[in-house]
Structure 1
Amino acid sequence: MLVRDRMSRDVVTIPSSVTILEAQKIMRESRIRRLPVVDQGELVGIVTYNDLLEASPSKATTLSRFELTYLLSKMTVAEIMTRNVITVPPDVPIEEAALIMQKHQIGGLPVVEEGSVVGIITESDIFEVFVETLGLKEGGARITLELPQKPGVLHEVTGVIKEHGINILSLATFYEEGKPEYRYVVVRVNTLTPQEIVAGLREKGITVTHVWIAPLGERGHVLPV
């Protein structure tokens, strides 16, 4: 999955001459938390909801409400925007965008192609992909396995599941610090009664660490293992 598959294409942008009050109104009406700043078709900065909050005078100020409003009506986003904007092209894998956000501790990335802003990808988009990738909306049983780092072990897992005629809804792998010789594999299968699968996995010497049953529309529960 690429950034272009999940980015928002209807991007709201503003010129750098927009005042802070105007930017606040645009964010509020559009229900967004960041605005790319574009002058003459070129991305020159980005302003976030937090930037606008920090620019607003403290409640402890002695200025009157009218004086505050006057000050904010004169300040433009050019005075507070981030100018060195971190961007991504649309053909970057979605997980690369997530890594960039994590590394720089930001919640969104403008998507730029041939110098123009063509979209924006946010942490909400990444979260939705995470939910979809793990098959959370499919229900079923979630089985967590501790597998040694050796060839063929995942084939054994899928073989056991196939023997029981059950479909795999999703599969993901994780690691734990301090255990580089193992991978933790989370398999979601299309059944609410995975006991025979769990037994079959154990017969193969595969360690099952956790089983979660998640009926559609109901609260899930742990199956003792």
Structure 2
Amino acid sequence: MIVRNWMQNNPLTISSDTLASEAKRLLLDNNLNALLVVDNGRLRGLVTRHNVMRMGHYVTRTQNPDEVSFFVNRLKVRDFMVRNPATVDANDTMEHCLEYGKELMVAQFPVMENGSVVGIISANEIFQLAAHLCGTMEAEKMRKAQ
């Protein structure tokens, strides 16, 4: 099984100039766990829901109107994105993807092909794969039992 068959194709991307508040809105409105940061066709970073929520939580905890205003009106994705994120190739195996994620302790990877972003793969797709395999194994057991 290869990554290409399980990844999310044509992922939503943003530029590094995107406001943090806009990134948060896009993550929530589209029920995403990560946004890829792409400038001039090149992958520059990754913004995760966790990063944005942690940043927002810190700002609201301080209850300082200036910090809230800065977060909403001036803080850009480039200020807190994960720079040069680890990637996988569309032709990598899912086994490699799982091992690499475990090794780096990350839950999503931009998927590359010939130097361009073609998708994203996250824990959600890996759970889908696991469910698929479990279903296949269960069907095989039932077939043998008959």
Output the TM-score relative to the length of structure 1.
0.59
Pick one of 189, 196, 204 that aligns with 2:142: 189
Query: Which residue in the other structure is 2:131 paired with?
Result: 131
Provide the secondary structure at the position in 2 that maps to 1:55: helix
State the Cα distance separating 1:134 from its structure 2 match: 2.2
Query: Which residue in the other structure is 2:122 paired with?
Result: 122
Provide the secondary structure at the position in 1 that maps to 2:8: coil
State the Cα distance separating 1:60 from its structure 2 match: 3.3
Write out the 4+ residue segments of structure 1 that deviate beyond 4 Å after TM superposition: none
Matched, 1:61 2:14: no
Q: Distance in 2 between matches of 1:189 and 1:100?
A: 33
Tell me the number of residue pairs that the alignment of Structure 1 and Structure 2 aligns.
Answer: 144
Letter aligned with residue 25 of structure 2: K
Higher relative contact order structure (alpha carbons within 8 Å, sequence separation ≥ 6):
2
Could you say which structure has the larger radius of gyration?
Answer: 1
User: What aligned pairs does 1:46-125 form with structure 2 within 5 A after superposition?
Assistant: 46-56=46-56, 57-64=58-65, 67-72=66-71, 73-125=73-125
Query: Which residue in the other structure is 1:143 paired with?
Result: none
Unaligned runs of 5+ in 2: none
Provide the secondary structure at the position in 1 that maps to 2:64: coil
Q: Distance in 1 between matches of 2:52 and 2:123?
A: 19
Asked whether the equivalents of residues 98 and 123 of structure 1 are also in contact (C-alpha less than 8 Å), the reply is no
Once the two structures are superposed, residues 174-224 of structure 1 have per-residue CA deviations (whole angstroms, 9 ceiling, x without a partner) of xxxxxxxxxxxxxx2326xx4xx9xxxxxxxxxxxxxxxxxxxxxxxxxxx
RMSD after superposition: 1.9
Letter aligned with residue 129 of structure 2: V
Provide the secondary structure at the position in 2 that maps to 1:100: helix
State the Cα distance separating 1:69 from its structure 2 match: 3.9
Letter aligned with residue 35 of structure 1: L
Once the two structures are superposed, residues 94-129 of structure 1 have per-residue CA deviations (whole angstroms, 9 ceiling, x without a partner) of 111111111111111100111110011111111111
Unaligned runs of 5+ in 1: 141-168, 170-187, 198-225
State the Cα distance separating 1:130 from its structure 2 match: 1.1
Query: Which residue in the other structure is 1:13 paired with?
Result: 13
Once the two structures are superposed, residues 71-99 of structure 1 have per-residue CA deviations (whole angstroms, 9 ceiling, x without a partner) of 11200010001113100110001111111
Identity across aligned pairs (percent)?
27
**Higher helix share goes to which structure?**
2
State the Cα distance separating 1:54 from its structure 2 match: 2.3
Asked whether the equivalents of residues 46 and 83 of structure 1 are also in contact (C-alpha less than 8 Å), the reply is yes
Q: Distance in 1 between matches of 2:129 and 2:59?
A: 38
